[in-house]
Amino acid sequence: MIFWTSFESSPPACDLSHSGRVVVGLPDRMRGERCCAVVICADAAEPMQFSEMVEFCRSAGLANQKLPEQLEVVSELPRNASGKILKVQLRERYADAT
């Protein structure tokens, strides 16, 4: 669950359930948490831009309060032995960057 200001959102609501992208909640002093999308870019020469991600999420019907506020493009997502994405590692990595 991602908590920010008076809204709560489950990551799958923001995530759009795809193996090449995931959404994590990062600490935010003012609002509790903020939504960060971490995506694998198919074309490394032209990585996805924040505005493209917002447009994609809106076209998928995501409400404004559920739109990710940060975009991180990676070459691969950390996974455990069974293939599950390790969101804790992503939170730790990008929380330090804020």
Residue (of 22, 28, 39, 29) closest to 88 by Cα position: 22
Q: Read out DSSP for 41-75?
A: -S-TTSPPPHHHHHHHHHHTT--GGGS-SEEEEES
- Number of domain units in the chain: 1
Q: What is the pLDDT of residues 21-76, one digit of tens each?
A: 888 989 988 888 888 999 888 777 788 899 998 998 889 888 888 888 999 999 99
Residues 93 and 78: their CA atoms lie apart, in Å, by 11
pLDDT at position 56: 85
H/E stretch holding 71: strand 70-74
Question: pLDDT grade, residue 86 (50/70/90)?
Answer: very high
Question: pLDDT grade, residue 77 (50/70/90)?
Answer: very high
Provide the residue range defining the domain that includes 14: 2-95
Question: pLDDT grade, residue 8 (50/70/90)?
Answer: low
- What CATH code is carried by the domain that includes residue 9? 3.30.300.30
